[in-house]
């Protein structure tokens, strides 16, 4: 953006005032931090970022955060100072105890555990350890290891994963979202911040948000949202668009900000089969309170009925039958109990972990293209065009074609939602469609 000459003049005039403020700020910088700065001026990015931060203004500098006890696992002697590279949530909690407590109670703090899941197994065995280092762990967090010489094991650091297990035992990394060394609230509230990890084939929240009205309005009115203000209450300090933070974390007139990101989630939309979260009524009430800053209650109630319908469809038509069919194949010895050694394992895995999440997240955050084309359409294709034919083939290979017959009888036939798969489409409808294409495109479509 071009700045005109006037701005420069005005900035000049203002400088006198700002200069005295600056002196005040600088006075607060500790003697130790000043010593740090005398060398680390050679990292101008870090220093400048910090100088533009609330930390600088409050006199919180290098030493205040990086100082360590000699007994700390990752303490090191650094030109006479005892410091640590990693500043953990435990360190931050000295000034921000409430935020640290909430984060500690959240799913985020446990994100490292996911690496004990199928995702982790896939990463470590099917992928390989170095892929886990540059992939999984950069979001989920590593278990940071300190080498015998006091340096950090590079298989585990650099890492700012949100569930990082730190040498002091604390979990998480505040700079996962509050990027060092500016620690900007404005930056942390932007959807891109969450989008570092919440994107892609298995949880495309960023893509869904960007498609949604919420994301569209954010792009249009970002400059009106006062995102740099300390107090940031929806419906008091901004009115035109929510970010991820608005709905999941930030304050409303009736509830405070929270760093427990699951505090307003009434559905678990990540699991193979979706179910309500614990205390879901309270969590739902909190979320509806956010909605009400901009939406009337018929809209909010209608939205949730549409969401609940979509989650029910996913569960009942696709997720539960797929799970039951696979369980049955394992029980009958058609496929092995082991994971990911049969094509059916992979198909089922992506059905719930990839396509099924896209359908549910698309519905939950009002991204119609994700709900349908990347979501239910892909779920249905996986179910009908991949899973069922693979089940048939596996049964035949195992010499149990009658098992497939039984599966079709139990899970498909007689179920109105799967009727088309057995009986085909209603010929009358198909005829109408052909006429529609004939009119629309002036061409025959079989």
Please tell me the count of residues contacting a copy of itself according to CB under 8 A. Answer: 152
Task: Identify the three-state secondary structure at position 238.
Answer: strand
Is residue 70 part of the contact set for a copy of itself (CB under 8 A)? no
Is residue 31 part of the contact set for a copy of itself (CB under 8 A)? no
The one among 75, 121, 143, 398 contacting a copy of itself by CB under 8 A: 121
Q: What is the nearest approach in angstroms of a copy of itself to the Cβ of residue 97?
A: 26
Q: CA angle, corner 45, sides to 225 and 9, nearest 5?
A: 60
CA distance 188 to 197: 13
**Site residues (CB under 8 A) for a copy of itself, limited to 171-200:** 179, 182, 184, 186-187, 190, 192-193, 195-197, 199-200
Burial status of residue 293 (CB atoms within 10 A of its CB: 0-12, 13-18, 19 or more): middle
Q: What is the nearest approach in angstroms of a copy of itself to the Cβ of residue 305?
A: 4
Is residue 81 part of the contact set for a copy of itself (CB under 8 A)? no
Q: Are strands 267-268 and 81-83 parallel, antiparallel or unpaired?
A: unpaired
The one among 12, 44, 230, 399 contacting a copy of itself by CB under 8 A: 44
Is residue 333 part of the contact set for a copy of itself (CB under 8 A)? no
Question: Which residues 6+ apart lie within 8 Å of 103 measured at CB?
Answer: 89, 109, 172, 174, 259, 260
Is residue 157 part of the contact set for a copy of itself (CB under 8 A)? yes
**Site residues (CB under 8 A) for a copy of itself, limited to 268-297:** 268, 270-273, 275, 292-296
Q: CA angle, corner 85, sides to 81 and 88, nearest 5?
A: 115
Is residue 23 part of the contact set for a copy of itself (CB under 8 A)? no
**Site residues (CB under 8 A) for a copy of itself, limited to 297-316:** 298-299, 301-303, 305-307, 309-310, 312-313
Is residue 216 part of the contact set for a copy of itself (CB under 8 A)? yes
Question: Which residues 6+ apart lie within 8 Å of 6 measured at CB?
Answer: none
The one among 57, 99, 202, 289 contacting a copy of itself by CB under 8 A: 202
| CB of 93 or CB of 380, closer to a copy of itself | 380
- The answer to whether residues 261 and 106 touch, using CB atoms and an 8 Å cutoff, is yes
Output phi, psi for 60, to 5 deg. Answer: -95, 110
- The answer to whether residues 61 and 30 touch, using CB atoms and an 8 Å cutoff, is yes
Contacts within 8 Å (CB) and 24+ apart, 118-126: 118/339, 118/349, 118/353, 119/353, 121/339, 121/340, 122/340, 126/340
**Site residues (CB under 8 A) for a copy of itself, limited to 396-435:** 417, 420, 424-425, 427, 429-430, 432-433
| CB of 98 or CB of 125, closer to a copy of itself | 125
Is residue 167 part of the contact set for a copy of itself (CB under 8 A)? no
| CB of 293 or CB of 412, closer to a copy of itself | 293
Question: Which residues 6+ apart lie within 8 Å of 29 measured at CB?
Answer: 37, 56, 59, 61
Is residue 223 part of the contact set for a copy of itself (CB under 8 A)? yes
Build a one-symbol-per-residue string for 236-265: x at contacts with a copy of itself by CB under 8 A, - elsewhere: x--xx-------------------------
CA distance 345 to 261: 31
Binding segment toward a copy of itself, per CB under 8 A, in 60-68, 121-129, 255-263, 406-414? 121-129
Task: Identify the three-state secondary structure at position 67.
Answer: strand
Q: What is the nearest approach in angstroms of a copy of itself to the Cβ of residue 229?
A: 10
CA distance 95 to 81: 22
CA distance 58 to 133: 36
| CB of 59 or CB of 235, closer to a copy of itself | 235
């Amino acid at each position: 953006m071009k700045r005109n000459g006037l701005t420069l003049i005005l900035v000049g005039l203002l400088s006198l005032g700002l200069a005295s403020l600056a002196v005040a700020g600088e006075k607060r910088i500790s003697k130790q931090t000043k010593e740090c700065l005398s060398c680390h001026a050679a990292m101008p990015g870090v220093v400048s970022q910090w100088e533009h931060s609330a930390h600088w203004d409050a006199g919180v500098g290098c030493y205040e955060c990086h100082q360590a006890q000699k007994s700390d696992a990752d303490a090191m002697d650094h030109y006479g100072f005892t410091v640590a590279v990693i500043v953990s949530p435990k360190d931050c909690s000295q000034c921000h105890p409430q935020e640290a407590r909430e984060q500690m109670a959240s799913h985020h703090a446990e994100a490292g555990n996911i690496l004990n899941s199928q995702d982790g197994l896939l990463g470590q065995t099917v992928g390989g350890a170095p892929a886990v280092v540059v992939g999984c762990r950069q979001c989920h967090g590593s278990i940071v290891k300190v080498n015998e010489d006091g340096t950090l094991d590079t298989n585990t650091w650099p890492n700012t994963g949100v569930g990082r297990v730190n040498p002091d035992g604390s979990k998480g990394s505040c700079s996962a979202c509050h990027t060092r060394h500016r620690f900007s609230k404005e930056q942390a509230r932007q959807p891109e911040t969450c989008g570092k990890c919440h994107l892609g084939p298995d949880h495309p929240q960023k893509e869904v948000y960007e498609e949604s009205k919420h994301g569209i309005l954010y792009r249009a009115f970002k400059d009106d949202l006062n995102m740099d203000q300390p107090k940031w209450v929806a419906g008091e300090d901004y009115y035109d668009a929510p970010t991820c933070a608005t709905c999941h974390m930030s304050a409303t007139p009736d509830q405070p900000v929270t760093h427990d990101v699951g505090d307003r989630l009434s559905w678990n939309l990540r699991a193979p089969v979706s179910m309500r979260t614990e205390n879901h009524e309270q969590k739902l009430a909190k979320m509806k309170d956010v909605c009400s800053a901009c939406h009337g209650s018929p809209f909010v109630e209608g939205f949730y009925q549409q969401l609940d319908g979509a989650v029910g469809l996913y569960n009942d038509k696709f997720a539960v039958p797929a799970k039951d069919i696979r369980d049955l194949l394992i029980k009958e010895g058609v496929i092995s109990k082991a994971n990911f050694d049969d094509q059916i394992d992979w198909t089922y895995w992506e059905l719930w972990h990839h396509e099924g999440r896209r359908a549910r997240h698309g519905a939950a955050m009002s991204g119609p293209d994700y709900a349908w084309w990347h979501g239910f359409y892909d779920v249905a294709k996986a179910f009908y065009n991949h899973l069922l034919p693979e089940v048939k083939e596996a049964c035949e290979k195992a010499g149990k074609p009658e098992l497939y017959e039984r599966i079709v009888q139990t899970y498909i036939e007689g179920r109105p939602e799967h009727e088309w798969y057995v009986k085909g489409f209603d010929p009358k409808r198909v005829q109408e469609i052909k006429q529609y294409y004939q009119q629309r495109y002036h061409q025959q479509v079989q």
